[in-house]
Amino acid sequence: MQISTSVGPRKESEESRGKSIFPTGQMLPFVLVTAIFFLWGMSNNLTDILVQQFKKSFELSLIQAQLVQTAVFLAYGTMAIPAALIMRKFGYKSGMLIGLSTFGIGTLLFWPAGVIGQYLPFLLALFLVGCGSSILETACNPFMAQFGDPATSERRLNFAQAFNPPGTITGVLVGTWFIFSGVEKSPAQVAAMKTAGTYAAYLHSEIMRVVPTYVVLGLVVLALAFTISRVHFPVMLNTEETEGGDQGSFKALLQYPHLIFAVITQFIYVGAQISTWSTFIPYMKTYTTVSEKEAGYFLTGTLIALALGRIISTPLMRFISPARMMAVYALFNIALLAVGILRPGIVGTWAILGTSFFMSIMFPTIFALGVKGLGPNTKLGGSLLVMAIMGGAIFPPLMAFITRSTGSLALGYTLPLLSYVVVALYGFTGSRLNRSDIAAAPEVI
């Protein structure tokens, strides 16, 4: 059975308008998986706090401090495909349990890392946290896209992803309150403490401030893993639903140009998002007179903007093509980042903050469009889209390198500006590739 090629953005919106995004009779697993979106959002944006905290407590350069992001997001490139192979064999639920356990163990390792008091053990713990997050994203994103009516997959995934921003907001607030001490020593005070032999103890106390937050987070994650292990998941999305049939292959993914374009776009978009946020506090410290804690509250504002973007935009997708909306949002971000580059200071700060509103729908929309129509190849295709999150490992140190080379932190934001050009191109052309691919492939019944 073939799908008609005449379906356009307006027709797609009309078809999904009266359909529910929620799975019938399966709300408990839906709610528990949605909670995972909250927790990994909390973890991912705590790293923005860690960049500044480790820069201070380990006396690092900005490039060295950005290795925090590299450690976390490099794990996505390492674990996404193995995670997909595990889930192809054992199902989404098993993948979620493995991901939560790995995530929880990584956060608990912050305790011995703090006792050791060196940067490398923290990076290794963060890499393990990133491995867990990678497995969770490989499981949860395609699970949500498939967990209900296919006509509402973009809306359903955007709904679940809407719980990610409250997690990121919680993470940044917790980091601002419990990790940032609010104590910022002047050069004269540092020199006096070094003379008195108390400076090393002060730095170690700053390092240890990160430990309680991560240990508590790890315990919550492991408790959620135990709860999910006791809940029944739908068989068609949980176990070897394709055993004895077509389980998909990586070679088959080459037949879907809309997926390949989505993977490239996701890599570039995530790189833009992570580099924008992880450089936000250093930007404010360079061009304004705010303290660390005040900058932390501004960073929270970027995440509130992201949450508002999801809340406002997701219902509008009933009437507007998600791909077209994403493309227009990318154009807005190009303009706002231009302001941030040309007017560094409080005006530029507010402009960069505003980009988060328009980031809101990009990740879930790219993901949902990328896996649409893949049938038995969905798990493997989803793993490539999660692997693309590795852009978050590459872009922050690259942005720091541009800053050092040009002598201007503001000019570093040229990198995410150019990234949104690619996102806009995908939004305007990717949906047409998507419909063409689906029309050329047999419908999965």
Please tell me the predicted confidence (pLDDT) of residue 386: 82
- CA pair distance 355, 306, nearest whole angstrom: 8
Question: Contact, 111 vs 137, CB < 8 A?
Answer: no
Please tell me the predicted confidence (pLDDT) of residue 242: 45
Count CA atoms within 13 Å of residue 364 on its CB side: 31
Please tell me the predicted confidence (pLDDT) of residue 25: 67
φ/ψ of 345, rounded to 5, equals 135, -155
- What lies within 8 Å, CB to CB, of 84 at 6+ separation is 138, 379, 380, 382, 383
- CA pair distance 147, 153, nearest whole angstrom: 8
Give which of 298, 367, 314, 305 is closest to 332, Cα–Cα. 305
- CA pair distance 66, 204, nearest whole angstrom: 20
Please tell me the predicted confidence (pLDDT) of residue 24: 66
Stretches in the chain below the pLDDT threshold 50: 1-16, 18, 239-245, 435-445
Please tell me the predicted confidence (pLDDT) of residue 235: 66
Long-range contacts, 184-189 (Cβ 8 Å, 24+): 184/56, 184/291, 184/292
User: Which residue type, as a one-letter code, is found at position 250?
Assistant: F
- CA pair distance 156, 30, nearest whole angstrom: 10
Residue-wise burial string across 1-15, b where 16 or more C-beta atoms lie within 10 A, e elsewhere: eeeeeeeebeebbee
Please tell me the predicted confidence (pLDDT) of residue 241: 45
Please tell me the predicted confidence (pLDDT) of residue 2: 29
Give which of 273, 401, 426 is closest to 337, Cα–Cα. 273
Question: Contact, 69 vs 278, CB < 8 A?
Answer: yes
Domains of the chain: 28-440 (1.20.1250.20)
Angle 375-379-382 from CA coordinates, rounded to 5°: 105
Q: Global pTM? A: 0.75
For the stretch 391-424, pLDDT in tens is: 988 999 999 999 999 999 999 999 999 999 999 9
- The chain-wide mean pLDDT, for the chain, equals 84
Please tell me the predicted confidence (pLDDT) of residue 432: 62
Pair of tokens at residue 127: 């890499």
φ/ψ of 14, rounded to 5, equals -65, -40
For the stretch 37-82, pLDDT in tens is: 999 888 877 888 898 899 989 999 888 998 998 999 898 888 888 8
